[in-house]
């Protein structure tokens, strides 16, 4: 590496573009994971024994799907999903190419956290809502989700941070973003300064996510 | 108002069936405060949960406020539940909502528009005496205040029946009394029928008109509170009555006294209703040549009169003592001579 030129001829525009790609991939996948994870988590919780939609079969099926996708290493999941992604976006390259793998990889992980959060809700509170004549929809929207919200937010914070590192991995197979940049320029052209800057930016993104998550969790938790 | 007919509830379990409620028949009248007392596991919790359909009977029918709760489902059941509200031992408030928002919750369920909701919440806050705490969160409230929120929430939709599931069991004695006073007040003002379950005879004594005693899923005794106090039949009822009339230490004290007083008699007097307010002892001393020593006594108030026990020691000529005992008997006071052994 040419140490004299370290940090001087970094392509800052390219760096910024890569950062935006990372933010785009993380942002979309966090939102989708949040929604999909909550739906899966709710289903896991509600179909479990002793709950409102108690259903052994559905519970076992969802549980199995969640466990399988949670166990597949992310890098292998990307490869496995190539045909699916090709059908969806007609390409594997670019930020969109990484989205299916990111979401399918993270949603089951988050679904388990949602389920744990929901299980921590006092059963008495659900019973109270039932005794007032609340419908299933009311119980979900006005009891289950608000009462578990701190757990849901701290869970999505952890998941979001995992997603940022997944985007870097997805970069290696051409999804763009900071991971891609660090691999193509930093590793292949032996530009340690580029790798270093990309790392610092990712760290900043992670810190900001953690900070926002902590603030929101604290603000929501009135217990 | 409430009619329970031949109700049985059996929970299947691996070690055979558990009969939580076994052939219960009960009529509860409109405007009544009806107590169900029993130890934990007696089935009272299951029974009260059948009144709003949180549990369904295995056999029999449950009718509340003109609806067959054991049969209605879905929307009809949810509608019925708005008329049969419930308060809980652990309050079961939503921690994520303020006092006002918690009270507004049943109104949201009933589809009351926001402006009316706000007005109704204000009324309810006043009714239960929580002015100034509207925007507090449950975690900032004491147990008694939490139960007041629970009561306000339960009253929001103007129910016909209020079910109290051990509503005071998690509260200290003083707070318990203030919550019980509030329940009596609501019962009088709104004419609300109240059904409560408890394991504390104190609660029954203080506010109930009638009481049912439950043991292993069955109702073993039923009647007006004073009658049950006066003349408890089942052994379990006697134990509950002793909870309020005889402090724990009474038995020890009496044994100790019997050892001390070798001459004369130790007598237990039982006063019921009006006789509890008569100056029996004064009359006794004035008309008989005996010395009277009051050893221990307690009078409890129930909704239909007082009930009390008094331990006295009589000394003097055997003849006079006999006459004195006869005199007390003639005053409609229960007399029991306590002897050694």
pTM of this prediction exceeds 0.95: no
Helix H segments across B3-91?
44-50, 74-81
Give a yes or no: residue A138 inside a domain. Answer: yes
* Cβ distance of A143 and B82 shorter than 8 Å: no
B92 CA: distance to closest CA in chain A (Å): 5
ipTM, interface predicted TM-score of the complex: 0.87
Q: Which residues of B touch A122 (CB under 8 A)?
A: 90, 92
Q: Give the residue ranges of chain A where pLDDT is below 70.
A: 1-6
B243 CA: distance to closest CA in chain A (Å): 29
CATH of residue A35's domain is 1.10.3720.10
Give a yes or no: residue A5 inside a domain. Answer: no
- Rounded Cα–Cα distance for residues A147 and A141 (Å): 10
Query: Mind listing the pLDDT tens digit for each residue in B208-257?
Result: 999 999 999 999 999 999 888 878 899 999 888 887 776 656 667 777 77
Give a yes or no: residue A7 inside a domain. Answer: no
Give a yes or no: residue A149 inside a domain. Answer: yes
Return the top range by mean pLDDT from A182-196, B158-172, B230-244, B275-289. Answer: B158-172
Query: Mind listing the pLDDT tens digit for each residue in B60-110?
Result: 999 999 899 989 999 999 999 999 999 999 999 999 999 999 999 999 999
CB pairs under 8 A between A and B: 67
What is the count of structural domains for chain A?
1
B72 CA: distance to closest CA in chain A (Å): 13
Give a yes or no: residue A49 inside a domain. Answer: yes
Confidence band (pLDDT; 50, 70, 90) for B275? low
Give a yes or no: residue A2 inside a domain. Answer: no
* Cβ distance of B81 and A133 shorter than 8 Å: yes
What's the confidence (pLDDT) of residue A45? Answer: 97
* Cβ distance of A127 and B96 shorter than 8 Å: no
Residue B148 has pLDDT above 50, yes or no: yes
Q: Which residues of A touch B77 (CB under 8 A)?
A: 133
Query: Mind listing the pLDDT tens digit for each residue in A96-109?
Result: 888 999 999 999 99
Of the candidates B171, B207, B174, B336, the one whose C-alpha atom is nearest the C-alpha of residue B267 is B336
DSSP B167: T
- Rounded Cα–Cα distance for residues B168 and A211 (Å): 43
Confidence band (pLDDT; 50, 70, 90) for B341? very low
- In a 13 Å sphere around the CA of B66, the CA atoms on its Cβ side amount to 4
Domains in chain B, start-ordered, CATH in brackets?
2-244 (3.40.50.300), 250-338 (3.30.70.260)
Enumerate residues 6+ apart whose C-beta is below 8 A from B137. Answer: A222, B95, B97, B98, B99
DSSP B21: E
What's the confidence (pLDDT) of residue B276? Answer: 64
The domain containing residue A53 runs over which residues? Answer: 12-220
Of B65, B86, B109, B149, which to mutate for an interface test with A (greatest number of A Cβ within 10 Å)? Answer: B109
- Rounded Cα–Cα distance for residues B82 and B66 (Å): 14
């Amino acid at each position: 590496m040419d140490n004299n030129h370290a940090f001087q001829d970094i392509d800052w525009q390219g760096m910024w573009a890569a950062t935006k790609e990372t933010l785009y991939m993380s942002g979309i996948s966090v939102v989708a994971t949040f929604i999909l994870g909550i739906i899966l988590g709710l289903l896991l919780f509600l179909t479990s024994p002793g709950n409102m939609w108690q259903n052994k079969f559905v519970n076992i099926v969802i549980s199995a799907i969640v466990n399988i996708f949670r166990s597949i290493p992310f890098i292998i999941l990307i490869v496995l999903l190539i045909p699916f992604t090709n059908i969806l976006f007609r390409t594997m390259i670019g930020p969109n190419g990484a989205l299916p793998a990111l979401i399918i990889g993270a949603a089951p992980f988050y679904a388990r956290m949602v389920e744990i959060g929901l299980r921590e809700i006092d059963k008495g509170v659900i019973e109270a809502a039932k005794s007032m004549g609340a419908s299933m929809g009311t119980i979900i929207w006005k009891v289950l989700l608000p009462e578990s919200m701190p757990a849901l937010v701290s869970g999505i914070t952890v998941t979001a941070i995992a997603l940022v590192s997944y985007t870097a991995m997805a970069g290696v197979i051409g999804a763009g973003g900071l991971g891609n940049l660090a691999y193509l320029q930093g590793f292949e052209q032996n530009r340690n300064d580029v790798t270093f800057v990309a790392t610092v930016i990712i760290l900043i993104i992670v810190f900001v996510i953690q900070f926002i998550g902590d603030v929101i969790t604290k603000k929501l938790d009135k217990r | 108002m409430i009619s329970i007919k031949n109700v049985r509830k059996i929970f299947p379990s691996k070690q055979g069936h558990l009969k939580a409620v076994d052939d219960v028949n009960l009529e509860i009248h409109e405007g009544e405060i009806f107590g169900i007392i029993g130890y934990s596991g007696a089935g009272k919790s299951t029974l009260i949960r059948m009144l709003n359909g949180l549990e369904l009977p295995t056999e029999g029918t449950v009718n509340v406020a003109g609806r067959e709760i054991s049969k209605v489902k879905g929307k009809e059941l949810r509608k019925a539940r708005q008329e049969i509200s419930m308060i809980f031992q652990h309050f079961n408030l939503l921690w994520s909502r303020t006092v006002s928002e918690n009270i507004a919750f049943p109104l949201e369920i009933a589809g009351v528009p926001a402006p009316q909701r706000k007005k109704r919440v204000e009324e309810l806050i006043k009714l239960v005496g929580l002015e100034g705490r509207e925007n507090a969160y449950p975690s900032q409230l004491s147990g008694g205040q939490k139960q007041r929120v629970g009561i306000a929430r339960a009253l929001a939709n103007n129910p016909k029946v209020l079910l109290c599931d051990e509503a005071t069991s998690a509260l200290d004695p003083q707070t318990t009394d203030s919550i019980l006073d509030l329940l009596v007040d609501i019962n009088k003002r709104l004419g609300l029928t109240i059904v409560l379950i408890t394991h504390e005879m104190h609660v029954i004594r203080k506010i109930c008109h009638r009481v049912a005693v439950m043991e292993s899923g069955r109702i073993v005794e039923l009647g007006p509170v004073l009658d049950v106090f006066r003349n408890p039949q089942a052994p379990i009822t006697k134990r509950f009555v002793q909870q309020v009339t005889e402090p724990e230490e009474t038995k020890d004290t009496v044994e100790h006294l019997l050892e001390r007083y070798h001459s004369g008699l130790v007598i237990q007097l039982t006063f019921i209703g009006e006789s509890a307010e008569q100056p029996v002892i004064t009359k006794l001393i004035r008309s008989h040549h005996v010395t009277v020593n009051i050893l221990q006594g307690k009078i409890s108030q129930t909704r239909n009169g007082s009930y009390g026990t008094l331990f006295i020691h009589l000394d003097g000529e055997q003849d006079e003592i006999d006459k004195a005992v006869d005199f007390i008997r003639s005053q409609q006071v229960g007399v029991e001579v306590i002897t050694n052994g």
